[in-house]
Structure 1
Amino acid sequence: MTLIPYLKKLSNHPLIVKRKFFLLLLLVVFSTMTYPFTPMHVTESNATLEINSGSNLNQITSQLVEMNILKDSFRFKVLAFVTGNQTKLKKGYYKIPDSITPLGLLSILVDGKEMLFPITLVEGSTFKQIVELIDNNANIKKTIVGFDEQKILQLMGAEEPYVEGLFFPDTYYFYKNTTDLEILTNAYKVMKSKMQFLWENRTEDLPYESPYEAIIVASIIEKELGVEYEAPEIAGVFVNRLRANMRLQSDPTVIYGMQESFKGNIRKRDLRADTSHNTYTRKGIPPSPISLPSLISLEAALNPATTGYFYFVAKGNRMHHFSKTLKEHNRAVNTYQRRK
């Protein structure tokens, strides 16, 4: 008998066939056992998956195959069935990490660990700028477009008379299709929470009748502020002037009152032109904030520095010169402003 026919005959021997089957079975079992823990090496960086409401396992795995996240759908389906999660995958918008394992992917989809998107409300921003920021964000669902401010206040459950300045400036994270109203309401609630604590721990005998008035003054401080450490001193000036029944005489309030007519420079006639927010023509606290005040400005408004200062002027380096008398202030203005 030659060698080749002998080997063919030997390969068909029942014992050899059984061994082949056993080895094949062992390979399948080993592959199945290691599959859940083997990184998939997603080819597309920052791949995202959107699962719509009502999608079933077949539809979801087909999406994953089309996106080259899965090489085949069979083993992932088996994994879902074996773990009892075949009907537990949740709708949502998911980020797929580059080296995620099948079990890790299944866990994300079952737990509903959706991708979060950031939005930053910057201190000093106006409500108009916030609306533009939200409108330009494609991941936010628009539900209050065209609503007036009073309607928005009502929907937020706010008791304040104006929407300006009511949102705490910070970076907020949200799920895709979160509504504009939900974003605003969340930022409003954060501001309320911050203000409750600050109001309860404020300096005594401040010239504010409510937390809202403190927010208004803080918003003016925010627009005057160049360097953070000056916030308590600027607040001290405004508090001193309010106590003395003096006008606040803050340029940013004039600019806010001018709205679209402000072209970059304040003229003397602008200071004399009366608006609801012009603190050169009107005494007391304006009717609304003029911007989003930062935590630093809020803290300063409620815990101002105790000084004898009633005036300040910008020095041109983001800092201010503070004065106790008008005579001293006029000299500072000549030094830092009129020399330009």
Structure 2
Amino acid sequence: MPASKPKAKKKNKTSKSFPFKGLILIVVGLLLISGLVLKASLWKAYPVDGDKQRLMIGTGETYSGFIDRLAKEDHLSFPILVKIYQRIAIHDTMKAGVYEVQKGMSIANVLKMISNVDNAQMNRILVIEGTTFKQLIDALKKDDLVTKEVVNLPTEQLLKELNIPYSHPEGLFAPDTYFFAKGETDRKILTDLYQRQMKALDAAWNNRANDLPYKNKYEALIMASIIEKETNLDSELEQVSGVFERRLKLGMRLQTDPTVIYGMGDAYQGNLTKADLRRPTPYNTYTMSGLPPTPIALPSKKAIEAAMHPDESDNIYFVATGNGGHTFSSNLQDHNKAVQDYLAVLRSKNKGN
């Protein structure tokens, strides 16, 4: 009998096909995971109450801070992934303004929307308490969403155009956060701020305390601007007011640095010297008695109220503590000690640096 052929070995199809099938499963799994990650982050709907909602973006806000806030409020997961997407896909910064977010808009679409100021529905204008009229005008000049009609006029002509019956603009415009339609005129914006300030001033004047040392409400506004510049603590406003009100009654000079600085104008470079304090100007309250001729800043409603309601202590001095706030004193001995304490704090801080 002829010799039989050896039987061929069967191929193990399972062992050779397994890597390919396994790779497919891994790819599918990764795609599913990626989809879930994107759904929880970039594709997730931005939180909206109702059919639409306004989203306010302030000047100086960043994508990083905005994304972190959404994550902190549990509105998205994987914030790092969202930040990477923003860096790669959005080659611009956030633009200040007020945007309208429709219900169902994804976070990715919102991120794109707020990179283009043309998408803004309204323009956010921030007027900070204690800033000057010049700073307000400069901000309006730089704002591309404001239609320019009066900001480039000389001050005297600007006031005339706005029908403002004062010869100096300082202090006449209310600091606050405002929202105006894109393209709103500077005339409308300034008129609105002026009317708000006058309304606050009139209300406070009509409800003022008795025996104030002001001839009229404009002098009270001057005082409010000084109070605004002297402290950033609401709890101290009436105390500062009381010190200056008593000094006026006693015939003492106000001796307040912010008035000197205002009178120096652009000559002030951040350092007030003894020579500056001795140099007479209409605003140097170290060399002149009484109030300066005009306000020195844009005072808040709180500062105006404080000017009308000084505290009832007998303090006539105050000095910074060096750690925030001020020490108030009724006599020169206590005040001199407070000054030495302040200087000691400064020396200690300088050593630490």
Q: Distance in 1 between matches of 2:250 and 2:325?
A: 25
**SS class of match (1:280):** coil
Q: 1:293 to 1:266 in 2, by over 3 A?
A: same
Contact 2:320 2:326 in 1 (8 A): yes
In structure 1, the partner of 2:309 is 303
AA in 1 matched with 2:237: A
**SS class of match (1:138):** coil
Cα deviations by residue, 1:85-112 (Å, 9 ceiling, x for unpaired): xxxxxxxxx9664359xxxxxxxxxxxx
Moved more, 176-185 or 277-286: 176-185
Q: Distance in 2 between matches of 1:145 and 1:302?
A: 32
1:214 paired residue among 210, 220, 225: 220
What does 1:186-225 align with in structure 2 at a 5 Å threshold?
186-225=192-231
Is residue 282 from structure 1 mapped to residue 280 from structure 2 by the alignment?
no
AA in 2 matched with 1:251: D
Q: Distance in 1 between matches of 2:311 and 2:127?
A: 27
Residue 327 of structure 1 deviates from its aligned partner by: 2.4
Residue 266 of structure 1 deviates from its aligned partner by: 1.2
Gaps of 5+ in 1: 1-40, 47-93, 101-113
**SS class of match (1:331):** helix
AA in 1 matched with 2:312: T
In structure 2, the partner of 1:118 is 124
Contact 1:236 1:304 in 2 (8 A): yes
Residue 171 of structure 1 deviates from its aligned partner by: 1.3
The alignment's TM-score, normalised by the length of structure 2, stands at 0.64
**SS class of match (2:102):** coil
Gaps of 5+ in 2: 1-44, 46-51, 53-97, 105-119, 348-353
Contact 1:222 1:293 in 2 (8 A): yes
**SS class of match (1:140):** coil
Residue 213 of structure 1 deviates from its aligned partner by: 0.9
Query: CA RMSD of the aligned region, Å?
Result: 2.4
1:227 paired residue among 233, 250, 253: 233
Number of residue pairs matched by the alignment: 239
In structure 2, the partner of 1:244 is 250
Q: Distance in 2 between matches of 1:153 and 1:167?
A: 12
Cα deviations by residue, 1:244-268 (Å, 9 ceiling, x for unpaired): 1111000111111111111212111
Q: Distance in 2 between matches of 1:303 and 1:145?
A: 35
Contact 1:160 1:212 in 2 (8 A): no
In structure 1, the partner of 2:164 is 158
Q: Distance in 2 between matches of 1:239 and 1:186?
A: 30
Q: Distance in 1 between matches of 2:100 and 2:251?
A: 61
In structure 1, the partner of 2:182 is 176
What is the percentage of aligned positions where both structures have the same residue? 42
Off by >6 Å, runs of 4+ in structure 1: none
Residue 146 of structure 1 deviates from its aligned partner by: 3.0
Residue 275 of structure 1 deviates from its aligned partner by: 0.9
Is residue 98 from structure 1 mapped to residue 102 from structure 2 by the alignment?
yes
The alignment's TM-score, normalised by the length of structure 1, stands at 0.66
Contact 2:230 2:258 in 1 (8 A): yes
